[in-house]
Chain A
Amino acid sequence: MYHYLEKAARAQGRKIGSEALIENVSRRSFIGGVLKTSGVVLALQVIPGGVADAFEAYPTGAAGMPRGVVNDPHVFVAIDTHGLVTIVGHRSEMGTGVRTSLPMVVADEMEADWSRVRVIQAPGDEPRYGNQDTDGSRSVRHFIQPMRECGAAMRYMLEAAAAATWGVDQALCKAKNHHVVLLKEGKTKGETVETGTRIGFGELAKAAMSLPVPPREKLAFKKPEDFLYIGKGKTPIVDLHDITVGAAVYGADVRLPGMKYAVIARPPVVGGKVKKFDAAEALKVPGVEAVHEIEGFPPPAKFAPLGGIAVVAKSTYAAMQGREALTIEWNDGRHAGYTSTSYREEMVATARKPGKVIRNQGDPDAAFAGAAEVFSAEYSQDHMAQAAMEPPAALARIVDGKIEVWAPAQSPYGTREDIAKALEVPIENVTVHVTLLGGGFGRKSKCDFVLEAVQLSKKLGGAPVMLQWTREDDLQHAFYHTTSVERIEAALDKSGKVVGWRHRTVAPSILSTFAEDSGYQFNIEYGMGFVDMPFEIPNIRCENGQAFAHTRIGWFRSVSNIPRAFAVQSFVAELAHKLGRDPKDMLIELIGSDRKIDPKAAGMPEDFWNYGEPYPEFPIDTARLKNVVNVAAEKAGWGKTLPPGQGLGIAVHRSFVTYVAMVVHAEIDDKGIIRVPQVTAAIDCGLYINPERIRSQIEGAAVMGMSTALYSRITFKEGRVEQSNFSDFEVARMSNFPQKVNVHIIEPTAPAHYPTGVGEPGVPPFAPALCNAVFAATGKRLRSLPAGDRIDA
């Protein structure tokens, strides 16, 4: 047994483990013992009461994801003879609480007592578990249904096993709090009462696990009023205790006997190569054992490593010292001219010229030609790095041609596929164990650091090697949030009504990381607050101007929604100011009538991307959009008089099919520093599972929004990143953060308000709400992010 698994087992069964652990406690020992079931068991009716209609199946984008969903309790649930229920968490935990929320759904439907449930992390195995790519705020959205089905099927099987044990009709067997209780007919017809006889899940485990999984039509789903955990917000995350005692296992925390530690010196310019290097001094550093060149791949190379020189040592520190002692000459390649200041000027110039038309509704040319006045503004943003507190790290080894890695991977199966492809081995020969992620924010969707570790282990004859990125590596070799210029123009008629809207976006595209760069963005980026702009304006045009990438562009929590919400929601407030209107009233008026926007009639592109969700079930619903605006405004006391130097700002944005509005209260202190005493947020994410974690996500989104709005920037000079650590890549600290974040979760008012995203949608509205608040407080308009936290008098 590995040290890692031993440590896992010690931690009261609540540690990240592996499939092996699940097998140890579960079905292997049970499936052998076949219960003598009669045909009666499976022919029984659904429990009376009409609860089946409490949860109708509905389509989601899960069907379009690789390997879709799995709902088989034999895959996700194991029960031991003592009644310990083990539930597999198959999505990666990076702080959203998903490792708790989805197993909680299973436990709720199967009537398990949460205190007798443990959660174990699945390795990367999508054919077995369904899609595991934990990004796009999709986990609950896509897996609430299969997890409910899984739990309900498990409950059915437990009840069927009890019915066989007692020799009664299954309709008289009801799972309740980790037991199945025996019912009898009551005094009135159709009524049942408990007899007092019951059997524990542990006693039923062997028999229940040997039963076939019932088809969905046989399943009885719980009514919302019967939920034990869903929607209650009383379930702490499963890793809470381990985190507070330092026992939670992240990427760099796995230990194997004889493991080496390594760091890599990577080309300072993307696409650069080693011209020559001298390792003699590095090899003299005590503890340094080897120096190897790592093969690099210039973009577009998906997540392939950048290449460079790896130093392998007995300790991380020795490896770092060895890297310092390397002498390397680089060929910088074709991106050595990338300089942010001049690139910004080019983007601004491009945004002032017509671009490729992506959305066209009505006749914008006529609207602008006939306008009484045209109002325009430009908004820009620098690159950012995700800068999760855990820098990338991965452990790899190769034994008898079998590759095994431990990594904080957002997409463990994608990682496994990329390893198999890179090393040209069958995917069966690759195992990816998933540790906790010390933050992800999109960075750990990219498995370059895992591929580096595997490549290095191969060079070391398969020896276990922990590849550690430093903070400098993380900031200087990231897959960056794009840099952008968004220009918006509004055509106003004589009465001040907006009759035309033109939005031009210019930003290097994520697509350039995957394919030859056309300079244009693609439908996923267009779908993030650009072509889906929800205002009821008769003439709308959205254009994309070319911008070629000179670094690796990747996704950052909420992606293109950040610059789009910043531009659109700032522009609305600017327009309101120009027209002497209240910004909130202006916003509500622009959103217009209650309607579900028809993308085709609105001139949106054929390939309009609705976060991968089917549009009829997840439409752009302007009533829900306005509702979050109204709730946030009301709860924040919108319209109240504030002292000089203070102001309220409002913004709303739909992203990841969730609606979030924020009112930010800004205050300029006596030193001219922008402070945020309070944020009031309203979120409509449909049926909610874990409100306590929804609140924490929005609280955190406000803090990340503060970093984005005021502090964080990555800039390039001659192809090199100018920032190196948290000294110059600044993020919000406790010295200046949104002090109080009040989160109002909208109750779903219709069955069709299905669960939607939570991890990302809180970020986009913060920056515009803050900048609007700063304007209200000072009359100064911030149009370039990060804006800095100081307002000069």
Chain B
Amino acid sequence: MLTINVNGQDREFDGDPNTPLLWFVRDELALTGTKFGCGAGLCGACTVHVDDVASRSCLTTVGEAAGKRVTTIEGLSADGSHPVQKAWRELNVPQCGFCQAGQIMQAASLLTRNRAPSDGEIVEEMAGNICRCGCYQRIHAAVRLAAGGV
């Protein structure tokens, strides 16, 4: 039996420890804000925080997350008031919205480590998150906007 703290709550898992964290949070915990986009760490749609660091939940196993703190988009803030979430709304970033949870989690992780990222640092951090609708211009602007409020 493994214990993983998800969004501040200890959750138990007794299946195959190689199960990707993604499917544990989606199928077992019904936290569906974390998205399945590629299953191979190539698109970033499944990004969550493991001990505050952005991680691809499709490549992180439940075993690896055991004993650690996992934060999903549902747990980033109680009411959507994280500066990154606010910046996203301020700039009307999303189109279809599907990749945005991953984008927001990636951006929040960046700003935790680096309060004033340069344009190049934003690009480097966010280049692993694909947005097929093409919201990159606004994502970039929203990260900069949020940097002022973290």
- Genuine A/B complex: yes
A interface residue numbers (CB < 8 A to B): 3, 93-97, 236-237, 239-241, 243-250, 252-253, 255, 261, 286-287, 315-317, 320, 387-391, 436-441, 468, 470-471, 692, 696-697, 699-704, 725-727, 731-735, 737-741
Cβ contact within 8 Å between B40 and A439: no
Interface centre among B36, B101, B128 (most CB of A within 10 A): B36
Report how far A701 CA is from B137 CA in the complex, Å.
Answer: 12
Q: Which of B32, B88, B92, B98 contacts A696 (CB 8 A)?
A: B92
Distance in angstroms from A259 CB to nearest chain B CB is: 9
Instruction: Please name all residues of chain B whose beta carbon is closer than 8 Å to the beta carbon of A738 when the two chains form the complex.
Output: 137
Q: What distance in Å separates the Cβ of A140 from its nearest Cβ neighbour in chain B?
A: 16
Q: Could you pull out 11 A-B pairs where Cβ atoms are within 8 angstroms?
A: A243-B100, A244-B88, A244-B89, A252-B26, A252-B32, A315-B28, A317-B20, A389-B37, A438-B35, A702-B134, A734-B122
Q: B65 in the interface, Cβ–Cβ < 8 Å?
A: no
CA distance A259 to B147 in the complex (A): 42
Q: Say how far B103's CB is from chain A's closest CB, in angstroms.
A: 10
- How many angstroms from the CA of A252 to the CA of B85 in the assembled complex? 23
Interface centre among B19, B20, B126 (most CB of A within 10 A): B19
**Could you tell me the distance between the alpha carbons of A400 and B91 in the complex, rounded to whole angstroms?**
47
Query: How far apart sit A477 and B16, CA to CA, in the bound complex (Å)?
Result: 30
Is B85 a contact partner of A245 (Cβ separation < 8 A)?
Answer: yes
B109 within 8 A of A: no
Cβ of B80 within 8 Å of any chain A Cβ, yes or no, is: yes
Partner among B32, B73, B134, B138 whose Cβ is within 8 Å of the Cβ of A253: B32
Closest CB-CB distance, A731 to chain B, in whole Å?
A: 6
* Nearest CB on B from A580, distance (A): 36
Contact of B95 among A95, A286, A391 (CB under 8 A): A95
Evaluate contact between B134 and A737: CB separation under 8 angstroms. Answer: yes
Majority DSSP secondary structure for residues of A touching B: loop
| Known contacts A246-B72, A315-B23, A703-B136: A95-B32 contact under CB 8 Å | no
Provided the pairs A236-B92, A726-B42 are in contact, do residues A699 and B101 lie with their beta carbons within 8 angstroms? no
Docked CA distance A240–B104 (Å):
13
Give A247 to B79 CA distance when docked, in angstroms.
11
Beyond A94-B96, A244-B80, A317-B20, 12 extra complex contacts between A and B, CB < 8 Å: A246-B32, A315-B15, A316-B26, A320-B39, A389-B96, A471-B37, A692-B92, A696-B138, A700-B134, A700-B135, A738-B137, A741-B137
Q: How extensive is the interface on chain B, given as a class?
A: 35 or more
Residues of A with C-beta under 8 A to B38: 471, 725-726
* Contact bitstring B31-75, A, C-beta under 8 A = 1, else 0: 111111111101101000000000000000000000000001110
C-alpha gap A239/B45 in the complex (Å): 18
Contacts of A700 in B (CB 8 A): 95, 133-135
Chain B 79-116 near chain A by CB (<8 Å), digits 1 or 0: 11000010011001011111111001000000000000
Out of A316, A389, A697, which one reaches B43, CB within 8 Å? A389
Whole-angstrom distance between the Cβ of B60 and the nearest chain A Cβ: 13
Q: Is B123 an interface residue (CB 8 A)?
A: yes
Q: Which residues of B contact A725 (CB under 8 A)?
A: 38-40, 42
Q: Find out whether the CB atom of B95 lies under 8 angstroms from the CB atom of A731.
A: no
Name the residue of chain A whose CB is nearest to the CB of B140: A734
B134 touches A286 (CB 8 A): no
Asked if A317 contacts B32 (CB within 8 A), the reply is no
Rank and list the top 7 A-B pairs by shortest CB-CB distance, nearest first: A246-B33, A703-B134, A438-B98, A95-B96, A246-B73, A700-B134, A95-B95
Q: A97 contacts which chain B residues (CB < 8 A)?
A: 95
B96: which of A247, A287, A390, A739 is its contact (CB, 8 Å)?
A390
Residues on B with beta carbons closer than 8 Å to the beta carbon of A236: 89, 92
CB distance A246 to B34 under 8 Å?
Answer: yes
Nearest residue (CB) in B for A249 is B32
Kindly identify, within residues 120 to 150 of chain B, every residue whose CB is under 8 Å from any CB belonging to chain A: 122-124, 126-140
Please state if A387 and B132 are interface contacts (CB–CB under 8 Å). Answer: yes
CB distance from A452 to the nearest CB of B (A): 17
Nearest neighbor of B85 in chain A, beta-carbon distance: A244
Whether the pair B134, A732 counts as a contact (CB closer than 8 A) is: yes
Is B139 a contact partner of A244 (Cβ separation < 8 A)? no
Which residues from chain B contact A740 at a C-beta distance below 8 Å? 137
Residues of B within 8 A of A436 (CB): 96-98
Residue of B nearest to A286 (CB): B16
Given the interface contacts A241-B89, A316-B27, does A287 sit within 8 Å of B15 by beta carbon? yes
Bound Cα distance A320, B26 (Å): 15
Q: How far is the CA of A250 from the CA of B94 in the complex (A)?
A: 14
- In the complex, are the beta carbons of B127 and A735 less than 8 A apart? yes
CB distance from A68 to the nearest CB of B (A): 27
CA distance A722 to B13 in the complex (A): 37
Q: Is the CB of B134 within 8 A of A704?
A: yes
Cross-chain contact of A704 among B77, B79, B132 (Cβ < 8 A): B132
Q: Within the complex, what minimum Cβ distance (angstroms) separates B7 from chain A?
A: 11
* B30 is an interface residue with CB less than 8 A from chain A: yes
- Say whether, besides A390-B35, A726-B130, A733-B127, A240 and B94 are in contact (CB < 8 Å): yes
| Known contacts A389-B132, A731-B130, A734-B126; is-contact A237 B94 (Cβ 8 Å) | yes
With A and B bound together, what is the CA distance between A700 and B133 in angstroms?
A: 5
Of the candidates A241, A320, A439, A697, the one whose C-beta lies within 8 Å of that of B80 is A241
Chain B: CB-nearest residue to A239? B97
